[in-house]
């Protein structure tokens, strides 16, 4: 899933304004400038040409997305003095987004399964745990865009009381 779509979804889930997004980024020790934050939500981002010649819309930087996800955790749960902050993980994959949101919103496996079920996506606990494994583990599974999109939609409904 595109980084800007993830940030927009989280913005909707938490009902955030641009200034609050900048504050969340600062919690993760990232100093955004005004253009960076507004560029996330800009509809006319410009385009880039891939090696194969296809033209695609520019996406938000992985670094910014990684800091934002860490900032969301700090915003919702607070910073821990006991544990030093972990280095950011780049590139930001769907699996990383799912892991960070599980931590930020204090979700258990059963909560995530219920959220996905409410969105019409049935998934077992074993399948879900495969998303949270280390990417070198033999049972690791990539989290697809459809799973993440349904999870974000269901989380939004749950958080916003819809």
pLDDT at 62: 87
Contact between residue 148 and residue 97 where contact means Cβ atoms under 8 Å apart:
yes
Residues paired with 49 in a beta bridge: 55
Q: Give me the residue spans of the domains in the chain.
A: 1-81, 93-162
Query: What digits encode the pLDDT tens for the residues 127-150?
Result: 999 999 998 999 999 999 999 999
Query: What digits encode the pLDDT tens for the residues 54-73?
Result: 666 667 788 999 999 999 99
Which helix (DSSP H) or strand (DSSP E) does residue 48 occupy? Answer: strand 47-49
What are the counts of helices (DSSP H) followed by strands (DSSP E) for the chain?
A: 8, 2
Continuous H helices in 15-93: 18-27, 34-40, 62-77
Query: What digits encode the pLDDT tens for the residues 75-108?
Result: 999 887 787 778 888 899 999 999 999 999 999 9
């Amino acid at each position: 899933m595109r980084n800007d779509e993830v940030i927009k979804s989280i913005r909707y889930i938490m009902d955030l304004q641009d200034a609050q997004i900048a504050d969340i980024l600062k919690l993760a020790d990232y100093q955004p400038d005004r253009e960076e934050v507004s560029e996330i939500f800009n509809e006319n981002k410009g385009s880039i040409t891939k090696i194969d010649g296809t033209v695609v819309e520019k996406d938000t930087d992985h670094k910014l997305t990684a800091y934002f996800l860490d900032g969301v955790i700090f915003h919702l749960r607070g910073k821990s003095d006991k544990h030093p902050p972990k280095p950011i993980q780049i590139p930001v994959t769907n699996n990383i987004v799912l892991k960070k949101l599980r931590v930020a919103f204090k979700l258990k496996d059963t909560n995530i399964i219920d959220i996905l079920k409410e969105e019409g996506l049935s998934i077992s606990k074993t399948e879900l745990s495969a998303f949270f494994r280390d990417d070198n583990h033999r049972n690791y599974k990539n989290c697809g865009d459809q799973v993440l999109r349904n999870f974000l939609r269901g989380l939004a409904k749950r958080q916003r009381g819809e």
